[in-house]
Amino acid sequence: MNPATFTLSAARDALARRAISSLELADFFLERIAHHNPQSHAFITITAESAREQAQRADAEMARGISRSAQHGIPLALKDIFDQRGVVTTAGSKILRENLAAQDAEAVARLRNAGAVFLGKTNMNEFAFGVTNQNPHYGDVPNPWDQTRVPGGSSGGSAVAVSARLCLGALGTDTGGSIRIPSALCGVTGIKPTYGRVSLRGVVPLSWSNDHAGPIAQTAQDCALLLNTLAGYDAQDPASVNVSAPDFTRALNDSLRGLRFVAPKGYFEEKVDAQVLDAVKQAVGVLEELGAARVAKTFVAAPDMFQLNRVILRSEALAYHRNYLATQPEAYSPDVLRRLHEGESITTAEYALARRTQVELVRAFEVWFEDIDLLVIPTTRTAAPRVGTDPLEMAQHLTAFTAPFNVTGFPAISLPCGFTREGLPIGLQIVGARWREDLILRAAHQYQLATDWHERMPGM
């Protein structure tokens, strides 16, 4: 039995039939982390001692017939932007290197109550500002499929940890694509839920209006299991919405017959690498074979989403960082400092107009999805770029198809749908109407039952 071949779901089943213990799982992944982390830099902090204690507690509970959830005894990782009680939350920065968390973020508390085992805190772009996971403070994270390529960011450490089989699932955040981009570039599955679905309390903010939290795992089924625990109203989070959350696994095995989807056209074909577009078109064919109906419909006429997201993000990031900028500007990396100073050139009127446009876009997207269930498009225009590629060019190519769904808050999942000739993963993005994570998870799960792209492992 090799736990490196486990999905979260398979590990849950193995624990249930006593084929393996939670402590054995934790030790296995901690050993892999110890071996690979000096090169991968996927983890900033490794919490081996507390992980073993959590695993032993889970084993004792399961021996008494107690089953808390699908995550009970499962080794997970947390992006180092979520507070974990008694552990430093750096947000990938030098400024917060001594920021010891007094309590769990709400998402972490939910996983803790579900019996999860926390292996450590994963690397990220400094303050989640970027898509490369190049971090001057805690080490650059290479792509596990090609060390000369970036893994995507800002949740790159979480995606690499899942892809390299250093854990069975991880938490990430997504403000312009930061769950979906690294998931696509690393060949794993990651979902950005609807804005307000998962609490952001206890998460270091980048942009209050566009921040989302969600899981990264090997499969859509694993993401659904994690989302079952993470989703729910939090009265102490101003962004949380009091809407009921279904069992996201309930309809995973339902047929796709009757679902209507729109495939890449127009904007979502522009500047897309030919290999990426071909893989996505083949995935569209698989969805049609599974019974989903492809329909033609022009996408919402929208302003420059990249620029809109940029105005909101930089304005709100500047507001959060104003005190740090005044007291210790030298602690920021030059790249993040430059991005924050760009926010100073954005006027109040520009920010107000961007927020008004955001509200209008949400309504336009709601109308567009009234007779459509899914939008099926590439996650990114290219596979993983090489380290050293121009940062602005990289950001535009990687966030062009992800940022629109941060601005509008609509749910979207990225899952692997092929590989380039160079052996780099290609991501398929499935977008749904607000609060319809169940539909995008069902489509992703059915696609993964019909394909094996998600089973491939990097040759580390």
Residue 425 and residue 415: Cα distance in Å, rounded?
Answer: 10
Rg (CA), the chain: 20
Burial-class residue 345 by CB neighbours within 10 Å (0-12, 13-18, 19+): exposed
Compute the half-sphere exposure of residue 261: CA atoms within 13 Å on the CB side of its CA. 29
Candidate list 40, 154, 315, 414, residue with the active-site label:
154
Concerning whether 155 is annotated as a catalytic residue, the answer is no
Concerning whether 333 is annotated as a catalytic residue, the answer is no
Residue 37 and residue 41: Cα distance in Å, rounded?
Answer: 5
DSSP secondary structure, 220-284, as one string = HHHHHHHHHHHBS--TT-TT--------TTTTTTS--TT-EEE---GGGGTT--HHHHHHHHHHH
Residue 229 and residue 112: Cα distance in Å, rounded?
Answer: 10
Compute the half-sphere exposure of residue 128: CA atoms within 13 Å on the CB side of its CA. 32
Concerning whether 178 is annotated as a catalytic residue, the answer is yes
Largest CA distance in the chain: 61
395-412 burial, b if ≥16 CB within 10 A, otherwise e?
bebbbbbbbbbbbbbbbb
Residue corresponding to tokens 């090799």: 2
Candidate list 178, 199, 209, 414, residue with the active-site label:
178
Candidate list 9, 21, 22, 79, residue with the active-site label:
79
Around Cβ 266, how many Cβ atoms within 10 Å?
A: 8
Helix (H) or strand (E) holding 357: helix 348-368
In this structure, the chain runs to a length of 460
User: Do strands 170-174 and 75-79 pair parallel, antiparallel, or not at all (unpaired)?
Assistant: parallel
| Residues 129 and 339: beta-carbon distance below 8 Å | yes
Crossing angle for the helix pair 274-289 and 437-450, nearest 10 degrees?
A: 100
Closest CA relative to residue 74, chosen from 163, 1, 167: 167
* Catalytic center residues: 79, 154, 178
